[in-house]
Amino acid sequence: GRNTPDLVSAFESGKSLAVIAQDERLPVSELIRLMIPGLLDRQILLSRPGRQEPKLKDLLIDPHLIKEQWREIILAAIDVDGLCSPASDESARLIGLEYEHTLLRKLSAHGVPFRTEEQLRLLGTYKTPDVELQIPIEVNGRVVNWIDSKAMFGDRASHSEHQKQFRSYVNRLGAGMVIYWFGYADSLPPDADVTVVDTFPTSLRL
């Protein structure tokens, strides 16, 4: 498990929340949620007398719960992470597109022929993965016919929400791969047809 006091000490000694979150493979808002008890102990966060431990959204509603010298840093981090900010849908869409482009660039660089979701839609195929490979590739000894790019952390809940989507690709195209660019939970159930990775595989065979 994670050692929350260490995370709080790292933050106190000037390490950026974004960097800690990256090291811990967590969205910034999740990291701050984890750190709340430790931040209260160190009096970086203040609790209102008689109230329970503040939640992330309480910090946005009542920024004075954050000690002044830390206020701007913590609010900026929550804002950038955007899980609570109304702009999050649009930025999530843009980040998603950015990672899709990364995927397409890497496939091209490896000389893998593919069709994109847009090309497949023009052919009248709906419910398509981000990329359908025209020649299957082999990743970690498993065959991959399609790839779906997810600019998110793959926890159990969101992975199971996507299961139906993945199954429809498997039924139509065979086994495939999903890339959770921000990492994924160790506890994801194994699936013979869907390879889960968190980065573009360096060893792939055509």
What does the pLDDT profile of the chain (206 residues) look like in tens digits?
578 889 999 999 989 888 898 888 888 888 898 999 999 999 999 987 777 888 887 887 788 899 999 998 888 887 766 554 445 556 677 778 888 989 999 999 999 999 998 888 887 777 789 999 999 999 989 999 999 999 888 998 889 989 999 999 999 999 999 999 989 998 899 999 999 999 999 878 77
What is the SS3 assignment for the chain?
Answer: CCCHHHHHHHHHCCCCHHHHHHHHCCCHHHHHHHHHHHHHHCCCECCCCCCCCCCHHHHHHCHHHECHHHHHHHHHHHHHHCCCCCCHHHHHHHHHHHHHHHHHHHHHHCCCCEEEHHHHHHCCCCCCCCEEEEEEEEECCEEEEEEEEECCCECHHHHHHHHHHHHHHHHHHCCEEEEECCCECCCCCCCCCEEEECCCCCCEEC
